Amino acid sequence: MIPFLCAGLILIALVTSLMLALPALARPTLPFGVHVGIQRVGDPVIVAARRFYARLTVLVAGIAAVASILVLLVTGSAVAIGPTTTVVMVVDLLLFYRAHHMVRAAKLAGGWAAERRQGVTVDTSFRTDPVRVPWLWGLPALAVLLLTAGIGWARYDGLPATLPLFLGYGTASSQREPTTVLSAFQPVIYQIAIALIVLATVLAILRARPDLDAARPQGSARRYRIYLRGVAVMSLLSAACLNLSLFFAALRLWEIVTRAIVWQVALFAPLIVLLGGWLMWEIKVGQAGHRLPARPGEELEDSGVGQRDDDRRWFLAGTVYVNRRDPALLVHARLGSSSWTLNLGHPIAWLLLSVLTVVLIVLAGLALAGVVDLPQKHSLF
């Protein structure tokens, strides 16, 4: 009972910490996804919205923790842990949206957008001299992939007739399937897929429109360039961590190692390092790199121009962007730090979503026909 209780409380604490970090990591000029001028960063309404959100988020976590303890003590079952964590996340998102509405209403009522001449800043060096893919940082992921493939190739002839069911980052020892090239090399296939997806994402992000501040054009451009390279490096290192966990999962699949606690720790350690690394990175740089140290004079930079007000193009508190007049396909999201979103006003965005929908429909049809097996509900670990 105690381990389940600890797991539930840790999940609630993790969700609460992540939700509290959302507004903290955002730029001061983007409180709760609403764009405001630098002269309004300390406005009483914004301060009140931050306090409202932080206090109620902590209160919700406390109520959820007490409820989880009571349910576990009364029923002796941990079945409430998942629903409780989901409820906490949903309520926190609603609180975030409420804070967003408070700031946006004050902005509209006070005419904040008209206090400065609006404009945008463009740095053509992001096209003439773009941030390059840091290929060297991709070598760890490639090395782990090749190591896994090599061990799998050497082990393949000695594999038993059946293998444990592979569940991504774990195996089901009680369920076995016939040994084939496809079933035996599933970890390697996953590693290749992760490497390709991460590489495609990095290429897209490096070519996306830079998120610069018209009030501080030079400083924001310099910081964003550093930030962009850092995101690319972290993404490639993330692929290495994911591939390393798959490597340990492959050793268990091929029955090279047992289910001893040391291998359980080795399996999840890269994932913990991955989460901790991203958290430290986000805290250090902030959204679009605004936390990075300024050069002498940059803190005093002020062009006298306010960033163009495009709040009406953003929906769901800065997560969805729709602008038919904007040629950019991928734009930096307002929610979170290192996040991008598609411009749903761009025709190619709808083409990509249509292709994804067709693929999902085809997979569902093949699953219903028994041609392929969809992952089980518990298949993440």
Answer yes or no: is pLDDT of 174 > 90.
Answer: no
User: Dmax over Cα atoms in the chain, in whole Å?
Assistant: 74
Token pair of 300 as six digits? 């005093």
Out of 167-176, 197-206, 220-229, least confident range: 167-176
Q: Where are the domains of the chain?
A: 1-115, 118-305, 310-381
Secondary structure (3-state) at 130: coil
Residue 129 DSSP class: S
- Mean pLDDT over 29-39 rounds to 89
Q: Give pLDDT, residue 224.
A: 94
Q: How many residues does the chain have?
A: 381
Report CA-CA distances (Å) from 273 to 218, 237, 267, 279, 337: 34, 10, 11, 10, 19
Predicted TM-score of the model (pTM)? 0.85
Is residue 95 within 8 A of residue 39, CB to CB? The reply is no
Q: What is the pLDDT of residues 335-361, one digit of tens each?
A: 877 789 999 999 999 999 999 999 889
Q: What is the pLDDT of residues 35-59, one digit of tens each?
A: 988 888 889 999 999 999 999 999 9
Token pair of 338 as six digits? 């290192």
- In this structure, what are the phi and psi dihedrals at residue 320, rounded to the nearest 5 degrees? -120, 130
Is residue 318 within 8 A of residue 337, CB to CB? The reply is no
Answer yes or no: is pLDDT of 302 > 90.
Answer: no
H runs (alpha helix) in the chain:
2-25, 44-75, 81-110, 125-128, 139-156, 181-184, 186-207, 217-253, 261-285, 347-368
Q: Which residues of 305-339 are buried (b: 16+ CB within 10 A; e: fewer)?
A: bbbebebebbeebbbbbebeeeeebbbbbbbbbbe
Answer yes or no: is pLDDT of 375 > 70.
Answer: no
Is residue 98 within 8 A of residue 317, CB to CB? The reply is no
Task: Tell me the percentage of the chain whose pLDDT exceeds 90.
Answer: 44
- Mean pLDDT over 208-223 rounds to 89
Q: What is the pLDDT of residues 110-120, one digit of tens each?
A: 998 888 888 88
Answer yes or no: is pLDDT of 318 > 90.
Answer: no
Considering only CA atoms, which of 285, 284, 298 is closest in space to residue 227? 285
Q: What is the pLDDT of residues 268-293, one digit of tens each?
A: 899 889 988 998 898 899 888 989 99
Answer yes or no: is pLDDT of 64 > 60.
Answer: yes
Q: Please give the Cα distance from 246 to 276 (Å, whole number).
A: 18
| Mean of per-residue pLDDT scores for the chain | 87
Q: Please give the Cα distance from 36 to 38 (Å, whole number).
A: 7
Answer yes or no: is pLDDT of 381 > 90.
Answer: no
- Mean pLDDT over 352-376 rounds to 77
CA dihedral over 334, 339, 344, 345, signed as positive or negative: positive
Rg (CA), the chain: 24
- Mean pLDDT over 169-182 rounds to 82
